[in-house]
Amino acid sequence: MDVAKRRVPNTLTFGAMLLAVIAFFWTGLSPLGAGGASMLIGATLSLVLTLPGYLTHKLGAGDVKLLLAIALFGGTAAVLISFVVGTLTIVVVAVCWVWLGPGFGFRYPGGKSLPFGAALALGFVVAVLKGHVGDVPWPY
């Protein structure tokens, strides 16, 4: 959705946040095994990393909410990995877009900004597959 329409749906982000909070109050852990401290530090870190970009109009509100949802789902490590992988992905896409351009078959799908939410989602998938979510090795 972020790549095609430059929107990260609120139903996705708020739904994930609500699910994570309910899971935390039910079990004491996030859905992916993060403890309360990791969730809180991750949430704070996600805001520190994305709010400056939002306030300078480099990121959308959906990107901020998505990284916050990632924090509540996977904790601090998931936020860091998602942000780093997402940033590196966007850098590679931007370099390809500028250097290769449409002449080499690399077409950027319109819009004025790169889809950072999609890159964050890719980073979260990497974090989950590498087992760097929660406070305990995952999957358990």
- Domain residue limits, the chain: 2-130
Q: Cite the beta strand spans of 38-113 per DSSP E.
A: none
Query: pLDDT class for 71, splitting at 50, 70, 90?
Result: very high
Model pLDDT for residues 74-113, shown as the tens digit of each residue: 999 999 999 999 999 988 888 877 777 655 555 555 556 6
Tell me the C-alpha distance between 20 and 134, whole Å: 12
Residue among 4, 68, 12, 11 nearest 41 (CA) = 68
Rg (CA), the chain: 16
Query: pLDDT class for 137, splitting at 50, 70, 90?
Result: very low
Q: Identify the pLDDT of residue 8.
A: 82
Tell me the C-alpha distance between 43 and 90, whole Å: 22
